[in-house]
Chains A and B, each alone.
Chain A
Amino acid sequence: MTAHSREEVRTAVVAALLATQGNPGDPASVGEETAIGGAGLGISSLNVLQALVRIEDALGIVFDDRAVAETPLSSVGTLVNLAVAAAAEGV
């Protein structure tokens, strides 16, 4: 049981990722399969870190250090999974 639905988490994750680009973009065009870096959103690892902080603030959660360090954040979906897990831990 989490305080946030998966859709709420996904919305917050996408908003945080796009905000790091300084360009709101179109959230509707970003799916869970979208790659965070490279040819996907093209977000650097440093900006991913900024996004993680934004997600924490937006959802009122705290990511687990080891989980973040050990999880390859390759796609939006992997980050959503991580945030859902963090939200569940906080309940």
Chain B
Amino acid sequence: MTGLPEAGLSVVEHDTGGLPVRLVLLHGFGRYHGHLLDLWSGSDVACPVAAVQAGFRIGPGAYRWFAYEDRPDGSVTIARDEERRSRTALLAYLDALRGREPHRPLFLLGHSQGGMMALSVALLRPGLLAGCAVLNARILPETLRLLPAPPALGGLPVFVGHGRADTVVPVAKGRSARDALTRMGAGVAYHEYDSDHEVTAEMVADVADWLRTCKAGPRESAVRR
């Protein structure tokens, strides 16, 4: 595992061949880099991957991108400084990755908090990505407040998957993300599942199909700034 001390993140990169893209995996709260890496290894799509581990350690095998607190009124408050540091670090890593692999389309796959980080990247720096897949995630209002105006996503492929019985991030948040991303011009593929907050094999298979489709689509060589 490569440590990025200036960023607080750790990264494992696997160059397996297969689809000529780079898929960056962003785990959820209380997980570690190996969670999505292991799940993705069960998919039928081989491609170079990078599994990023958040910098804030909760305990063994458990990291977070930022602390959060559920409020009695149903709202969620987040530790903004932690979110900012994680987002800055993640963007620095993605910029470095883009510098090393300028012609390789870059995709993100994030679960829960990792999905929120992925959506923040998509909204703040859409030109960095060829596509973005999120599972059981939501758009952070804090990210929207950083934007002077809603971004024009120009058909950026975004996969949004959500469990109907998600008890951590309610499915309504996934539907809101779908609607907001569509209004911003993303090419949204939306899926709901009979599941709670976990990542299921069905979700992974759908993301794999989506990634294959994106690779074959017109944005295949998209590398924008």
A→B interface (CB under 8 Å): 49-50, 52-53, 56, 62-69
Shortest Cβ-Cβ A-B pairs, 3 listed: A63-B60, A68-B61, A68-B60
> Is B191 on the interface with A (CB-CB < 8 A)?
no
> Across the interface, do B61 and A66 meet the contact criterion of CB distance under 8 Å?
yes
Contacts of B59 in A (CB 8 A): 49-50, 52-53, 56
List B residues 1-57 near A (Cβ within 8 Å).
30-35
Chain B interface helix/strand/loop/mixed: mixed
> Across the interface, do A69 and B58 meet the contact criterion of CB distance under 8 Å?
no
Contacts of B58 in A (CB 8 A): 49
A64 CA to B33 CA in the complex, in Å? 12
Contacts of B30 in A (CB 8 A): 49
Contacts of B32 in A (CB 8 A): 65-66, 69
> Is B62 on the interface with A (CB-CB < 8 A)?
yes
Contacts of A67 in B (CB 8 A): 61
Contacts of A63 in B (CB 8 A): 60-61
Q: Can you name the residue of chain B whose Cβ is closest to the Cβ of A45?
A: B30
Please give the distance in Å from B116's CB to the nearest CB on chain A: 21
Contacts of A56 in B (CB 8 A): 59-60
Please give the distance in Å from B196's CB to the nearest CB on chain A: 14
Please give the distance in Å from B7's CB to the nearest CB on chain A: 18
List 5 A–B pairs whose Cβ atoms lie within 8 Å, in order of A's numbering. A49-B62, A52-B59, A65-B61, A68-B60, A69-B34
